[in-house]
Amino acid sequence: MPKSWSFHLSWSGACWQLKLRSGLCCRCAALLPMELIMRYFVWVISWRSGCRVSAGQQKMLRRNGEWRWLPQLAPQLPVPVSVPIFCGVAAEEYPWNWSICPWLPGKHPQAGQSSHPQGLTSDLAGFFQALHRQPAPAEAPAAGRGGPVRLRDEDVREVIQELGARVNGRAVLRAWDAVMESPDWSGPPVWIHGDPLGGNLLTQAGRLSAVIDFGGLGVGDPAADFLGAWQLFTPFQRRSYRQLSGVDEATWQRARGWALSVALFALPYYWDTAPSIRERSQQMIAQVLLD
């Protein structure tokens, strides 16, 4: 497990600096104002010196899964993952836990734009098969998205009502009702990433080259690890991805529910502040409804 480091955060215009107890300094310029950055639940800052800083408001208590267990899982996975090299704990200057991870090269995959979609579906299926078959000890933390997706039922119905005409409410409710008919996961808890969207995947030449941001790493129902299928793939590619993954119908329906709920929850939160996230969420809902 990486050591924890205290840090000093200084803010001057569009530049901030982290000073670790070891004497290491990292500087990142031309960032958004800190008060805007801190509006997001999870943020990742990258810069050319070869480091990545990630922090999470909601993940503060869960990041120990990434710190303790990811170094043990990483050698068993088929592509590199963002194993932390420094771990920072919440302090007065910044109230959330955070990590510094090595820079991993690659580009984030975009919906329908992969130069090798068959390769990407195969690579992603292979990655999660490898992750899910790793032994999960009794002391492993519960994943944030490892519980029953049906626990989101009340919140999903509320957000559909809140969104009003911004979504096709009837179609979305039909899709969600179908998810609610699926049985819960009855197998043993498995290791899951929990947030396998394009922003947490890296590709080179259209093939999966790395998986990053394991702040939600834990054990539970594997369904959430397939939610990215509705962001990244066409219906035909999704069918291939499911077949390669060996996912049963109930798990696939729960994964569909995770995709739908994640996209729905993002809409009101990012509607005015992040148009790109809003558009990706709308496209994700549209893909869910195609199935």
Return the pLDDT at 64: 65
Return the pLDDT at 277: 93
The residues facing 10 across adjacent strands are 17
Q: How confident is the model at residue 102 (pLDDT cuts 50, 70, 90)?
A: confident
- For the segment 176-229, what is each residue's pLDDT rounded down to a tens digit? 999 999 999 999 999 999 999 999 999 999 999 999 999 889 999 999 999 999
Calculate mean pLDDT across residues 79-92. 84
- For the segment 14-37, what is each residue's pLDDT rounded down to a tens digit? 333 333 333 333 333 233 444 433
Residue 260: closest CA among 282, 234, 233, 235: 282
Domains of the chain, CATH where assigned: 4-102 (3.30.200), 117-290 (3.90.1200.10)
232 HSE (CA, 13 A, CB side): 35
Calculate mean pLDDT across residues 125-146. 96
| Minimum mean pLDDT range among 97-106, 135-144, 161-170 | 97-106
**14 versus 50: which is more confidently predicted?**
50
Q: End-to-end distance of the chain based on CA atoms, in angstroms? A: 42
Secondary structure (3-state) at 159: helix
Backbone angles phi, psi at 100, to 5 degrees: -115, 125
The residues facing 83 across adjacent strands are none
Secondary structure (3-state) at 173: helix
Q: Quickly tell me which residue has 């911004």 as its tokens.
A: 166
Q: How far apart are CA 197 and CA 233, in angstroms?
A: 11
